[in-house]
Amino acid sequence: MSQLLELFPPGSAVTADGTLTIAGCRAEALAAEFGTPVLVVAEEALRARAREYSTELAARWPRSRVVFASKAFPCTAVQRVMVEEGLGLDVAGSGEIRTALKAGVDPALIVLHGNAKSVDELTLAVEHGIGLVVVDGPDDVDRLEELVPRGGNQDVLVRVIPGVTADVHAHVMTGHEGSKFGLSPSAAGELIARIERSDRLTMRGVHVHIGSQILDTQPFADSVAPVAALGEFEIYDLGGGLGARYTYSDHPPTVGEYLDALIGAARQHLPAGAHVVIEPGRSMVASAAATLYRVTTVKRGAHTFVAVDGGMGDNLEVALFAQRFEAGIVDRLDAPGGSVAGTRPSPEQVIVVGRHCESGDVLIDGIDLVAPAVGDLLAVPATGAYCFTMSNNYNGARRIPVVFANDGVARLVVRRETWEELSARDVE
């Protein structure tokens, strides 16, 4: 039980009658009130993680700022929590800019990313006074110089490819040569020189990001020297990418260990008076949430398939880059690896699949569950990152609600999509 429970949001527990609670709320009660599937966020765990990042970074490099990578969970309520805890927001695209502003962030604390920014996105950034635009190439500079009014100014960073390859799935690797993001150091140097001659853009510094779900600190440290070699700047944005714990076998570095490596390299290579920015996303939110599903079908044969009422419509991480998850039946978490004193049957290995018409709609390929049956409530932990943001309407599925839980009280922050909204954009 302890191993599985550790994957759920901090503060989760199992009651005396063997039922999972998240932030003091019983899982069955959450499912009854809000339906399934439902994404449940432990609000205090979210806040505590934000404070941990801010405190740990400031202790190592006082001139610094934590900027939440909104793409990991671009829910207005989540962004608002980050703003209330003093963080800036990293956004990619017009939608994330709009939700960030709705969340109440100071526009000066927004960092805009994107390898293919549109005129509309850059116009929105300029009009709202977005603090930093990370230029990904000369085309960004061309557009910004046309959009910034005469006498105006836009602060920019230049994204650099450091040539660092992290041991992660190719789909979440961004720091290697050949990445679609950023520029080689030589090309970055040329663009920096051009920006420094601009009368509408101000060159503030450089940006680097090497990927996501990285479970080793060394690649982060290795990414600092290549950007430092480009010169001395006011700001060095060292990106994010720290991995989260999804499975029993995952052992990501702590925030402190990650920052020891990253800031250790910064002390070695960067000017002492520089401003350091980091952009945690996945590691900020993944463990703060869990998804509850209702079991709809159990088929036993060559394999036992346990099908739930969600799947790749609310969690694309498995299909996109083979992310592994764990799970448990909410009223049988006390026996995830075996029976208790013979009172329950031994667990059986099953494949948890979704409801969508794709063979790739597999949530967990091989997991032990105790006597799974139709109607059971299945809880999947560590779904706070990249699940909400990539939710979709495959097979006409409605996007699922988000619920904040705190000290035994639950509140809806994103409602379930309605049937009417599925056809709201039809013009015939």
Residue with tokens 């075996």: 338
Sign of CA dihedral 202, 205, 210, 216: negative
Q: Rg (Cα) of the chain, in Å, rounded?
A: 23
User: Hey, what are 27's tokens?
Assistant: 């899982």
DSSP string across 198-263 = -SSEEEEEEE---BSSB--SHHHHHTHHHHHTT---SEEE----B----STT--PPPHHHHHHHHH
Q: Which residues pair with 27 in a beta bridge?
A: none
CB atoms closer than 10 angstroms to residue 293: 28
* Identity of residue 81: V
Q: Are 43 and 402 in contact (CB under 8 A)?
A: no
Distance CA(198)–CA(180), nearest Å, equals 25
Query: Which of 393, 379, 308, 304 has its CA nearest to residue 345?
Result: 304
First-last CA distance in the chain: 53
> What element of type H or E holds 45?
helix 43-60
Q: State the amino acid at position 385 in one-letter form.
A: A
Q: Kindly give, in sequence order, each residue whose CB lies less than 8 Å from that of residue 424, ignoring residues fewer than 6 positions away.
A: none
Separation of alpha carbons 212 and 278, rounded Å = 13
CA neighbours within 13 Å on the CB side: how many for 126? 23
For the question of residue 357 being annotated catalytic, the response is yes
DSSP state for residue 376 in the 8-state scheme: P
Q: Which is the catalytic residue, given 25, 75, 357, 387? A: 357
Q: Show which residues are catalytic.
A: 357
